[in-house]
Chain A
Amino acid sequence: NAGVTQTPKFRVLKTGQSMTLLCAQDMNHEYMYWYRQDPGMGLRLIHYSVGEGTTAKGEVPDGYNVSRLKKQNFLLGLESAAPSQTSVYFCASSLAGEAETQYFGPGTRLLVL
């Protein structure tokens, strides 16, 4: 089992460019999450999904879109990148949302210039 994988590991964007971050899990988990982690702050939830074809907004959804077309994949899109979106992005998955452990991918480091 690879667990949770993320692509790419690192990316540099110019302001205004778009990109998609891919998260894949092979644990047959129902729930998937996208977080961002910034220095001195806790993980903040961007969007999440409770199953294939469903998505919901988290704490900081502005500037991001997501899609969950397949159960094992959760995509995070940045339509027009801004320097404020420079961060480390973590994807996580869990068997279900209720008191289940979340398993994290290795992270994507994004720098927006």
Chain B
Amino acid sequence: GQNIDQPTEMTATEGAIVQINCTYQTSGFNGLFWYQQHAGEAPTFLSYNVLDGLEEKGRFSSFLSRSKGYSYLLLKELQMKDSASYLCAPMDSNYQLIWGAGTKLIIKP
């Protein structure tokens, strides 16, 4: 079956760095997306990885290891506005996104 595993909740301090891990099992693989979702709002696109390695985009970076079925999202210089849920979503062989339940990130001053 298809399965996504990511921590339910994480807490970090403003200005710090946090890494959100995601492990996945899918039928085929066509890349992995990370989305951010603030409470009561729609998910918004953060990153897409299809090859192994690190993709850096400002304060956010995303890493992929296809052989391990593993990805992480790295957030640097945390700001209060980064308090949100982060959704890991690999794309299967049918180009369907398989969504994790998300990691709720709480930022404390």
Contact = CB atoms under 8 A, between A and B. Distances in A.
Interface residues of B, number: 22
Interface residues of A, number: 19
A45 B31 CA distance: 18
Contact of B42 (A41, A97, A105): A105
A17 B87 CA distance: 33
A99 B45 contact: no
Interface stretch (B10-18, B55-63, B71-79, B96-104): B96-104
B4 interface: yes
Interface in A84-111: 90, 97-99, 101-107
Given A98-B95, A99-B30, A101-B48, A40 B101 contact: yes
A42 B100 contact: yes
Q: Identify whether the interface residues of A are mostly helix, strand, loop, or mixed.
A: loop
Interface of A: 35, 40-45, 58, 90, 97-99, 101-107
Contacts of B42: 90, 104-107
Given A99-B48, A99-B95, A106 B41 contact: yes
